[in-house]
Chains A and B, each alone.
Chain A
Amino acid sequence: MIKVQSLVKEFIQKDGTSFRAVDEVTFDASHNEIVCLLGVNGAGKTTTMRVLSTIFEPNSGKAEVEGYDVVAEADKVRENVGFLSGDTGLYQRLTPREFMTYFGRLYAVPEGMIERRIREMSEILDMDEFLDKKIEFLSSGMKQKVSIARSIIHNPPVMIFDEPTIGLDILTARNIVSFIRECRNQGKCVLFSTHIMREAERLADRIVMIHRGKVLKQGTLEAMREETKLQDLDDIFIYYINQANGELKVVANEF
């Protein structure tokens, strides 16, 4: 499970001033649950996830994964998290099998186990035919599947996917979405981010809306619909933004 408490992450800009990319963010996610971080580009989703995967150290606040602190017990956190970052590159000259094996070994997964995981995941994600081709010859959809499989080669209890379906065709996207559901059904704790409302609508058990580094609203879609009396997630999102801006003008049916 994931626990984030008043998390703050600031970046020092070129001119020396600091900029808050994540501002007092609090939320959690438990096993058997898919939580979605929803927000426009630059909202702070990636930064939040990077703190959770120990890449960034927070300036203040707390973040825990499976009860381990991301700063104090970073090693433990890395073992328990599978992190797919937004714009991941892959080693072009390796094959998907070599690529996954490499990371399996870095996670100290036993060899036999690595093979089994590759077999399992390539079945669900439909990767059999390109498992031994060089990655440089794969399409972007294939690469994304390889990336996802790589990120959870060690079968971690917590999975964090940053915009996992961005730029993918509909078939691949569906494949990945159903894979994520499958993970949840196996009892994993899944946190994923997106700026596509439809995807959040379809996949998330709970939604955490983030805007300009702050949590705008969180809860189930039903609860949000109840509160705003709006059906569409697009409208709901705009509603909350306007509310936060202090203007209660509801702009409906504009998109």
Chain B
Amino acid sequence: MILQQLINGIVIGSVYALIAMGATLVYGILKVLDIANAGAYAIGAYAGLFLYQATGSLPVAFLGAVLFTGLFGVLVQRVLYVPLLDKPPLVPLICSIGLFIFIQDLIRLLAGPHIRAFEAQLPFRGIELPYLSVNAIWIAIMATTAVLLVFLWYMLNRTKLGLAWKSTAQDLEIAKAMGVNVDRVVAFNFLLGYGFAAAAGIMIGMLYNSVFPTMGDMPAYKMLAIIVLGGLGNPLGTVVAGLLIGVVETLVAGYVGFFLPRDAIAFVVLIVILLVRPQGLLGQRT
């Protein structure tokens, strides 16, 4: 029973990490809270669903939707954020909230307000043991998330591009002066960030068998809790915070039968931890 709950928590938590990773990457470089990243989550889910219905192939739908949404992120960055960067931080933040609302309404206009089912056929079966059942979608989610996060870790810590990313996050002006084409780093950052959000959207859409225009609402709030908890702009912290919130949420909801709605638990965790560590779990005191 506890093992089952733990696995549930880890699955949910790793998807949370994925959702928040896009915003973390963007914050790391631009110091902008990118609420619209939760819009990318919904775009990804819809793109994935339509591509799946059109092609019948899950890998094609997944990769296609991730790429499409990532390119959308590159566009957003070029058209919206870069021109606003030398304005006070509130300006890009408001712009990002506006974009989020715009995305949701655009989806409503194009695809209708109703909930669509996302029934995916996976080519393998789940695990059924007497005390433990892990269905196929969960296995797919865990594996995909692990691959994406390991890919990101490798990219950030073992490649020249990762070094450029970190330098740009630490001091954009000096990174430029050292020869880093920061325009390209920022564009790549959005490609990755929006792509990750899309991946999460597809997987959650499949998990709950539903895709709808406002599906990004809850991730938008939770994403904020997770990136603050992870120490703002810290990718590793985001993974830790995502897993923590996923696990705590599942355990509390499963055992305590909390008087709070499940989705509020993330914020209880956030508040408690920030009282003790105002800089977040892995953030640095400044």
A binds B: no
